[in-house]
Structure 1
């Protein structure tokens, strides 16, 4: 069987997860990589046995016969590069967030629609075993009425992290702690609890020399009436401490915690379900805050491209978390409650 031919643009920190995931899927392979720093692209190509290296991704798109391209560049570049990929009639796989604002997200969605190509937004945390278990409990109605939820992202990003790449912490290319590090948690709250009706927030840049925020708190009021809080900081001493989601309902309380929603810390329901037996098995020790979700994520992408499955997350799904974070920033800036949709 002919393998799906993939390309990747941006061989930085997150690209390793993409290369590793595809290396475990026999029906697909990376055949080309592009990075403006040639050494970085060459190192990736050597490590993962990829034949073609480019410093200009446009040349890669022109020369290579590709089924899909993974975009692992700074967030602010995701829409423009994704549009270029779509205009070559190639399917788009973009890291989160898909854009730094709704306008960018909409342009990318429109380009993929126009060119009749798939748009996949990486939301690997949804596929972690712990989160799958929590989602099932919500979908089965085990909580009864859900009253409240809380998500904490108490991580550490030292100044050296921001200094290592000029784009980090800038409004043009990155956004702050909410849009970059906490975007998976924003997505998880929406995925678990439904649409957000309005948002109120405070943000601050307390200790890092960056344009965007390193700390903030947001209150999300869901259309269903659920009230949720999201507390985020990159200033936790001395290292990443907690990435958690807690849901409190009339018939159940669950906290999925650990460093990156990798450990079920509380799981209590009024009525028994067979899922209760596998709670311990769902816990895992992630190698980093990204977890193991890229592997099943790419399994789905490949199955969709081979017409065996429906996509788990598309552009319109990916747009939701961008819109919620944009509302958080708008509230923090104006001091007002912001209603959604924007």
Structure 2
């Protein structure tokens, strides 16, 4: 069996999920890792049995790899991703794809022009919960969609932000509770409900000091199909509670807590269908500790990397490609624009909000 060979750029905490996922896939092989702090790369390589680089350009030029996983800080995804694409490597980027639409578009363009695959980590789409809800909506089991609400009532203490120079900054984190913690829920709600037509939002920093960005965001969404929605994301809700996703239709409804369906109603769902679903939900491992930012399984990353491997071999688009990953960034940029400038903001956006462009010197 021919293996797909991987290289990692960025050896911080999130890279461990990528590495463990790669090592668990028979068709994948971890060949090299790179980090600007060479000692981190050396330590990671020693642990996992691969080659270390202090310069990712050297890795791209000399390592025998086909895929590059971008695990750097959010606001520095573009440079290594574009370099990897130009070197002819397929690219998979940790979420978010980037912290602005302009920088995300540069990655998408580079991969398209180089003819390589581009994927972005949104592992929540690969859960049984997400697949069930998506299929149920496609099969019209909820009837006409009326509303969807997503809540991320988490808590991160001051040390969480102080421990890393890039967290909680516009330039390198791209935002706060919404862009960092809430983006999976933003992605999920738009994937299930369809395109967002307009948003009206408020943000604030209420529980932290020395923080540029929001620790609370609340937005009302209007979907293109007419349904309404609410997104609320926080890192200021002590001590933190499970995330929640609610789907309401004219003929059915569902509530999911931490990627498990806990409520399902509607005559179009058979009793056996409900029983099978709840049995499957009960068999899942206990929900992760949502109060610990790094307490998550690598299983979602594994499924997404497996999808990328199949996409390479079958010459198709990955399930969550660059264009899909861009959608959540656009919604978040619209929310930030509404919060900063006031009023309703319609989508699609032509460009990043002015205060975001200023941060990036534009």
Could you state the TM-score of these two structures normalised by the residue count of structure 1? 0.95
Distance in 1 separating the partners of 2:317 and 2:334? 30
Greater share of helix: 2
> 8 Å contact 1:69–1:90 — kept in the other structure?
yes
Deviations 1:151-175 (A, max 9, x none): 0001111111111110011101112
Q: 1:341 aligns with which of 325, 348, 354?
A: 348
Q: Closer, same or farther in 2 for the Cα pair 1:195/1:79, shift >3 Å?
A: same
2:276 aligns to what? 278
1:249 aligns to what? 249
1:297 aligns to what? 304
> 8 Å contact 2:141–2:269 — kept in the other structure?
no
Q: 1:331 aligns with which of 330, 335, 338?
A: 338
Q: Choose 280-289 or 3-12, whichever is displaced more.
A: 280-289
Matched residue SS, 2:33: strand
Distance in 1 separating the partners of 2:30 and 2:243? 31
Deviations 1:185-238 (A, max 9, x none): 100011101000001100001122211111110111001011000011101222
2:231 corresponds to 1:230: yes
Deviations 1:276-299 (A, max 9, x none): 232221343244554531121111
Deviations 1:273-323 (A, max 9, x none): 453232221343244554531121111111112227641111111110010
Cα RMSD over matched residues?
1.5
> 8 Å contact 1:11–1:72 — kept in the other structure?
yes
Distance in 2 separating the partners of 1:196 and 1:271? 26
2:75 aligns to what? 76
Map 1:175-324; keep pairs closer than 5 Å. 175-208=175-208, 209-238=210-239, 240-257=240-257, 261-273=258-270, 274-280=272-278, 281-283=280-282, 284=284, 285-288=286-289, 290-291=296-297, 292-307=299-314, 310-324=317-331
Q: Choose 271-280 or 196-205, whichever is displaced more.
A: 271-280
Distance in 2 separating the partners of 1:200 and 1:271? 33
Matched residue SS, 1:11: coil
Matched residue SS, 2:65: coil
Aligned length: 337
Distance in 2 separating the partners of 1:286 and 1:90? 35
> 8 Å contact 2:142–2:268 — kept in the other structure?
no
1:92 aligns to what? 91
Q: Where does the alignment leave 5 or more consecutive residues of structure 2 unmatched?
A: 291-295, 350-362
> 8 Å contact 1:300–1:309 — kept in the other structure?
no
Could you state the TM-score of these two structures normalised by the residue count of structure 2? 0.90
Distance in 2 separating the partners of 1:137 and 1:45? 44
2:7 aligns to what? 7
Distance in 2 separating the partners of 1:13 and 1:288? 16
Distance in 2 separating the partners of 1:333 and 1:308? 42
2:357 aligns to what? none
Map 1:60-139; keep pairs closer than 5 Å. 60-139=59-138
Distance in 2 separating the partners of 1:266 and 1:182? 22
> 8 Å contact 1:154–1:236 — kept in the other structure?
yes
